[in-house]
Amino acid sequence: MKIRKGDQIKIISGNDKGKQGKVLAVFPDESRIVAEGLNMKKKHVRPKQQGKKGELVRIAMPFSVSIAMLVCSKCGKPSRAGFRVEQNKKYRICVRCKSEI
Ligand SMILES: [Zn+2]
């Protein structure tokens, strides 16, 4: 998976299409990610004490990495990530500006 924690990503389809957010967690086994402010779902939280009201909180849910595009930290454009191997080291690069990201 080319997207890592801390990356800026842009959603390319679905309800959040066009929105950007920072990746908070990645789940490579499921090819899913969680990003700040994206794919927010409402969740009812039961009251902790009797007589108090339950709360409605919004939490970021994991979504498929296939609807997210990496935003290059160098050129600021959504781009695909590529890899370059040099001296047995693997670098992730932006396919647009070719800089290491
Ligand atoms: Zn770039």
**For the segment 28-75, what is each residue's pLDDT rounded down to a tens digit?**
999 999 999 999 999 988 888 888 888 899 999 999 999 999 999 999
DSSP-derived secondary structure for 5-55: TT-EEEE-SSTTTT-EEEEEEEETTTTEEEETTSSEEEEEE--SSTTSPPE
Give 63 Cα–ligand 1 centroid separation in angstroms: 24
- Please list, in sequence order, all residues whose beta carbon lies within 8 angstroms of the beta carbon of residue 34, skipping any fewer than 6 positions away: 23, 24, 25, 26, 27, 60, 61, 62, 63
Closest CA to 60 of 30, 33, 20, 27: 33
Q: What domains does the chain contain, in order, with CATH numbers?
A: 8-94 (2.30.30.30)
Give 66 Cα–ligand 1 centroid separation in angstroms: 19
Give 70 Cα–ligand 1 centroid separation in angstroms: 10
Give the model confidence (pLDDT) of 8-17 as tens digits: 999 999 999 9
Structure confidence at residue 48 (pLDDT): 81
Give 36 Cα–ligand 1 centroid separation in angstroms: 21
Structure confidence at residue 54 (pLDDT): 86
Give 55 Cα–ligand 1 centroid separation in angstroms: 42
